[in-house]
Structure 1
């Protein structure tokens, strides 16, 4: 008997952003490459730039809405050629709260999901995703950004982004 294992490598990119404008521009660059069904995870401390990055993603997707953190709403829906579902799960006590809003329709639907504080709902997350880690840098406004692709689709995004 022959067993074939498919090996999928991840791609990791480290970027130093010197301002919120650069952080947003990076999000915009990625936003231009997204397709329906894509999942973007944003991880970082309060004030690390998650919402700024999400604004850039929306702009890159051609969404003209003013994008703010949906802290008290759980998810904001933004209409565009492809819908953007912007989650902020900071305030949930348990990931099971997402069952109440039918998270599967968002995660596996026709839009792009951007999820702030994604580590709080880890058991529900699709294994294929683009994970963005944002950390405050040494200087004012500076951010250290690490982006890891999980899955071939996201490897392609990072490769295309670096062209």
Structure 2
């Protein structure tokens, strides 16, 4: 799917955030400037997280948000491997009653559970983005179908 602007990427995130349920896991892949932050801010808005709470967890690794459901936002950019991620307590969040949103999932692919939604973002023009979504597991397939009918 195409997003012609950062605002459109944000709107796609809002729609996804409104559909998330506890236990959902969404992994984001894309280079710097690919639009992950616009999508994340939209997801948080759709999950009814107050705008003032949304921050980049680059240095904290994981940031919890309180909204319609608990939302855990992780940024794995500075994580070298699964062992380092394990030491942060990240794996305790998966299946803990909230939804998990992970940027830079490709840096530690083992962070994803067996069932998850993976979204790859690629710039196609100055502000336009291509989003490719893949679902792994029944719940993620249902989430993808509801998000992009």
Q: How far 1:124 moved relative to its partner?
A: 3.1
Q: Deviations over 1:53-75 (max 9, x none)?
A: 01111111111133232111101
Distance in 2, matches of 1:73 and 1:108, equals 20
Counterpart pick for 1:106 among 87, 93, 105: 93
Partner of 2:18: 32
Q: Would you say 1:60 and 2:43 are equivalent positions?
A: no
1:118-157 superposed matches below 5 A:
118-138=105-125, 140-157=126-143
Q: 4+ residue runs of structure 1 moved beyond 4 angstroms? A: none
Distance in 2, matches of 1:103 and 1:155, equals 24
**Gapped regions of structure 1 (runs ≥ 5):** 1-14
Residue 10 of structure 2 contacts residue 39 of structure 2 at CA under 8 Å; is this kept in 1?
Answer: yes
Counterpart pick for 1:76 among 41, 58, 63: 63
Alignment coverage as a number of residue pairs? 148
Q: Give the secondary structure class of the aligned counterpart of 1:47.
A: coil
TM-score w.r.t. structure 1 length? 0.86
TM-score w.r.t. structure 2 length? 0.94
Residue 21 of structure 2 contacts residue 69 of structure 2 at CA under 8 Å; is this kept in 1?
Answer: yes
Q: How far 1:32 moved relative to its partner?
A: 0.8
**Gapped regions of structure 2 (runs ≥ 5):** none
Instruction: Please tell me whether Structure 1 or Structure 2 has the larger radius of gyration of its CA atoms.
Output: 1
